[in-house]
Structure 1
Amino acid sequence: MPDWARAGTFRGTLGTLPVALSLDSKGESRYFYEGRSLDLFLEARRSGNALVLEESVRRDLGGDPVVTGCFSLMPAPGGLKGTWQAPGASAPLEVTLAPLDAARLPLRLPLSPGLSVLRRDDPLAFLKLNRAWVTLLGGRAVREPLSGVTYPRVPGASSALNAALQDRQLRHAADALDCRAMLPESAQKDPENGYTLSSAITLSNARVLSLREDVNYYCGGAHPDNWTEGVILDRMTGRAVPLTTLFPKLNAARQKALYLSGVKAKVDAECLDVLREDADEFTAHLSATGVNLTPSGLPHVVAACAETVTLPYATLRGDANLGSPLVKTLYPK
């Protein structure tokens, strides 16, 4: 990049259309048209003293990137000015960009730690997601409109808990938009591609809320993939609760031993061998009947072996921190 160019986020117009652009010194520059959800990726170089940002997209899976436009920018009072031109276009479009201070933008969502981090670290994602979301099912779920990601809520719960749920949804919504932006144009039109989240509350009591998240995604790589994550939250504070806070003796080795004992009846011999060899880490969610363990990090080719096993609370009484107010809700007298 030219010596004068500095990393930052800018907002302005390309022709008559509003755009936002992130200039990154590490080669990850991108921009998007406001009102649309997907980033376009840019490769930065210099031409004389001008900053040139070359926009390219893949048309089809397996195809090479095709140049679809080019910015030529120079410093100007109040920001950057220049042009954008598509290949073969008879004339360029004027571009005017001003530095964006996302911290000064009004919040359209309830303030939460994750929203503050997103505003600071990824202003482009903040611009897309900082808008009114859609309340569903009488307040028991919320849908983010651009990504379509839906996530549970708890009507009447503490603001801290619902902020934690919003923050988890923010992460998924940003990932969903990033995933679809990486797809070639032809694949973006297929609703089977991209990033889908299924999330559900698996336990809700006076002190604990637990959820299970299942993500399936295809972002243009070699194959689709998926993962599961368990979530355990303190209902009063919204903070994540590690499984070993509730069950201090349920360390990694004991989790694996109990899991293997419980999974024998659910998988064939081949999967059981895979799980004995590779299932060293687990994600956990709680339900009315016990602690549910699902292997995490299995290689893609054996991911179908990742069955969930429920460890009954009665089996885990000796592992539990029975003095914890959270654990007491799992072992009512």
Structure 2
Amino acid sequence: MKLLPMKRCRSLAFLLCAGLASGAAAQDADLQECGGVAGAPAWAAATIKAGAIYRGTVGTLPVVLQLGAGADGVGGEARYYYERRGVNIELTPFRSGQSLILQEEVWSGPMNGRLVTGCLTLNRNGVGFTGTWAKANGSGKLPVRLSTLNVMGMPLKLPTSPGLLKLRTADPLAFLKLNRAWAAQAGGKTVREPLSGVVYPRVAGASLALSAALQDQQLGHAVSALDCKSMLGSSDMAEGYDLNAAITYTSAKLVSLREDAGYYCGGAHPDNFTVGVILDRATGRAVPLSAIWPKLTDARQKALYLANLPAEVDTECRDVLRERGSEFTFHLTPAGLNLTPTSLPHVVGACAETAVLPFASLKAEANAQGAYYREFYR
């Protein structure tokens, strides 16, 4: 599974997570409205394990909280979410005597930056924490009860897949949100993940491995969609993440898809990206271009791409693509191999036209002894 590079920063061209979001954090580094002094109390630093997960309530509302590792035992990964909404809220640790204070902060758009929306004041008990939530001015106080949650011991509510198992370890909060029944639609042709709303195709009669691979593709987009929602915080410009994924080619051994995502996650402007997917129908594994056309070098790809651009591409864009368009994502259609540029700057992103290379024109680049040769050539 590719956890869409919000993972830390690409396919959700999440330059946001390295750019605007981190810039905002740096800009608001001195934000402190919940009292106390920086860092966790000694008992928390000594007892809180990296990535420890807690489940409980704020008032009557169910929440899940994660405490990460830092110099004081709690750090940048401290966050929680209300189960009803599934949107992460960042937490910054402070201490007052033996109490752990977690300052709740949300992004409120470029004009307002990061805002403090609440203060959790917690004290340890035998199974976790008890304490209060209140606004920064001390009003609206609610009781808080949190107990340790063993995420690794929780049963899977989705079919087992490599990506789901990896997510449980790498991002347990995302796992807890997404580990639930998903809804088949259109007679099983698509599946909808209910919390993020991400819809993804399925293949009739697919092997278990291929079904798992398609689930993992969808899982990656669902993680990105939820991360996007969390980055928006309380911003008024809450557009979020929209995916259109479609099966574009099937054969006896291969299935290919094209994924087009558009998003606005609190940055300077909306953006989008295209990802091509080619999977082996039996194993569900991604098939690299070299497994089909090993002689299709980077230079050859660029030359054939430029030679097969749609006629309507104007001169200005052709010049841009000649100078900058050197990296591509690939998918298959009955018409041929589709190449879409992925390395263009945002300002000329509209020039990222897809070119189709007919299979017959690529026969000289194919491996006649390869596992997929007969899918295209006789």
TM over 0.5: yes
Q: CA deviation at 1:186?
A: 4.5
Show CA shifts across 1:105-136 (max 9, x none).
12111110101011111111111111111101
Q: 2:324 aligns with which of 264, 268, 278?
A: 278
Deviates more, 1:86-95 or 1:36-45: 86-95
1:259 corresponds to which residue? 305
Find the aligned partners of 1:64 and 1:260 in 2 and give their Cα distance.
Answer: 43
Q: TM-score, normalised by structure 2?
A: 0.83
Choose which of 17, 20, 27 in structure 1 pairs with 2:64. 20
User: 1:204-236 deviations in whole A, cap 9, x for unaligned?
Assistant: 111000000001010010111111000000000
Is the 2:93–2:103 Cα contact (8 Å) retained in structure 1? yes
Structure 2 residue identity aligned to 1:152 = P
**1:320 maps onto 2:369 in alignment:** no
Change (3 A) 1:136 1:264: closer
Rounded Cα–Cα distance in structure 1 between residues aligned with 2:222 and 2:140: 37
- 2:375 maps to 329
Alignment equivalent of 1:156, drawn from 186, 199, 205: 205
**Contact 1:266–1:307 under 8 Å retained in 2:** no
Structure-2 residue corresponding to 1:77: 126
The structure with higher relative contact order (CA 8 Å, sep 6+) is 2
Query: Which of 39, 49, 52 is the matching residue for 2:101?
Result: 52
Which digits, 9 at most, give the CA deviation of each residue in 1:77-131, with x for residues without a partner?
A: 1122222112345463222222222111121111101010111111111111111
TM-score, with structure 1 as normaliser: 0.94
Aligned: 1:2 with 2:51: no
Higher strand share: 1
Cα deviation, 1:37-75, whole Å, max 9, x if unaligned, reads 211111122222322111122445521322211111222
Letter of the 1:267 counterpart: V
Shift in Å, 1:254: 0.9
**Whole-Å separation in 1 of the counterparts to 2:233 and 2:151:** 30
CA displacement 1:238-277 (0-9 Å, x = unmatched) = 0001111111011211111111111273421111111111
Asked whether the 8 Å contact 1:179–1:219 carries over to 2, the reply is yes
Confirm whether residue 307 of structure 1 aligns to residue 353 of structure 2. Answer: yes
Distance, in Å, in 1 between the alignment partners of 2:140 and 2:317 is 61
RMSD: 1.6
Flag structure 2 segments of 5+ consecutive residues without an equivalent. 1-39, 70-74
Matching of residue 95 in structure 1 with residue 144 in structure 2: yes
Corresponding residue of 2:261: 215
How many residues were matched structurally?
329
2: distance between equivalents of 1:3 and 1:269?
A: 65
Partner amino acid, structure 1, of 2:57: T
Structure 1 residue 297: deviation in Å? 2.0
Q: Verify the 8 A CA contact 1:141 1:150 in the aligned structure 2.
A: yes
| Structure 2 counterpart of 1:67 | 116
Question: CA–CA distance in 2 between the matches of 1:300 and 1:220?
Answer: 16
